A and B are shown apart, each in its own frame.
Chain A
């Protein structure tokens, strides 16, 4: 590549360099502004969680306060430790739901990509159509159906609907096609491996990078989902953290003493997801998403 640049030196005129450098500077500046814009609310919630109720309304928004420990103690003791229960619930819904969803999507994607069977195109068409269905409008009929079988209001009522992820199946199919060579499968079959063992020991590791992406997408999706638990659950002890904080705000509308609790609760619930994102960022395969549409 360097050779091609070096070959025609007369083409690179000296006039070109200064505007290019200015473009780069301007671009850097805009990016930094964008980054600051994205960080401001997170910085604010971390700062504001240190404010006592009075400081919240009297001091400048980004001035740290003196009430961090009081706020932490207040949120911990609220409703007999209900807040931490919500955190655990969120972890359960998002963790278990995303794990099950990723496994089922991987199986289905692999099955669709590597086996010929009757109705395969039909199934794949269904999956594609499923991607376009706005998931949230399903929540009410899902509630009514689950209520019929007595599951509404249970942990299952949030977990089970979270497992289905048409986009995940679609991505897994794309990924199985590109990451799992047919020759490897054949060789494993000749060696006498059972299909399930081949899937578990050969296919899954080969698809791992794509599966991390699918897992992350679904984890964040379930963690962020609000309407589904809002409709399904009535017992506050089963709430995920988003719903719990919402119920705080709905309750505390007239009662600004609850505001510091809401703020410190938001700060605590934002941190683990940010940590997860920073850790998994290395494994994240966005090219899988970008390449998905070419199909």
Chain B
């Protein structure tokens, strides 16, 4: 990526000045130093925010995760509880907390349904949009992308009402036919109901990214394959999907990161059902520890565990697919 970068001072040399390449005149060297200061100047404001609202909070969270109340040793049974460093106590507490671990399990379960279905359908729609002679593409592209503009809370509200027995069209039809309301909120179905909200919100955005990546493939490749008698399916499998693999990795990565941050969907559905507890997903548990139980150290430790877990999984995905997608064709 950095290959095409030149220091701006070197980009244009006056005609006939090629001899100066090895020994730049003092004026140019000074302009270069000024240029580097200007570059830092442009980067500085963003870095200031980066420092204040990303790095410092991360550092502070790590600091807090090692702190908590501990019994002052000298007093024996009458020891006062004072705030101080407690080592890894918060981490052991978080990792052995049944509710936190169960929340991680729920998120994992949800992610196993949501991520493949979002990516699979996004890829399918993108490939269909890119198939010749398909109609309604402009309409479908816009309609499928539209839910991206709907906030997660509102998407959950809309689907929540479509799930809620008293307002759901499914339950209405079922009752008209003499059946009973369909329960979208009982545990196995609930995961699909949540994944469906993620699918609805996310499929269009991912579709657009994959579709755009498809459009950048030179059409000569297809022409050649078609002349060799390849059908559209073969072209999709053999040419298109391998070539859009980087876009798939990017969208997959963002989906996985988003999965671990699942919060607003279950929090919004919570008033509609008793199945979702106040600590149903890890972030809900973290929120409760911090603001209800006043256990900042525990909340910070759980946050760190969650972030590190996300980071590790992201890096594993990147490593794994980068080797496969970029290693194969070079």
Contact = CB atoms under 8 A, between A and B. Distances in A.
Interface of A: 1, 4-5, 8, 11, 16, 19-21, 23-24, 27-28, 30-32, 34-42, 44-45, 48, 56-57, 60-62, 104-105, 107-108, 110-118, 120-121, 123, 126-127, 130, 132-138, 140-142, 144-145, 160-161, 163-164, 166, 169, 177, 182-183, 185-187, 189, 195, 199, 220, 223-224, 226-227, 231, 241-243, 245-246, 249-250, 252-253, 256, 259, 262-263, 266, 269-270, 273-274, 276-278, 281, 284, 286-287, 289-295
B158 A266 contact: yes
Contact of B133 (A20, A44, A126): A20
A295 B158 CA distance: 39
Interface residues of B, number: 121
Contacts of A62: 169
A277 B146 contact: yes
10 contacts: A11-B229, A41-B147, A117-B43, A132-B253, A144-B296, A164-B46, A177-B5, A226-B267, A252-B271, A293-B250
Interface majority SS on A: helix, strand, loop or mixed? helix
Nearest to A272: B149
A1 B223 CA distance: 9
Given A20-B231, A34-B125, A246-B268, A105 B283 contact: no
B40 interface: yes
B54 A138 contact: yes
A185 B6 CA distance: 12
A31 B213 contact: no
B144 A35 contact: yes
Interface of B: 1-2, 4-8, 11-12, 32, 35-43, 45-47, 49-50, 52-58, 60-61, 64, 121, 124-125, 128-129, 131-137, 139-140, 142-155, 157-159, 161-162, 166-169, 172, 200, 203-204, 208-213, 215-216, 219-220, 223, 227, 229, 231-233, 246-247, 249-250, 253, 257, 260-261, 263-264, 267-268, 270-272, 283, 286-287, 290-291, 296, 299-300, 303, 306-307, 310-311, 314-315
A224 B50 contact: no
Contact of B53 (A142, A199, A278): A142
Contact of B134 (A28, A110, A127, A142): A28
B167 A5 contact: no
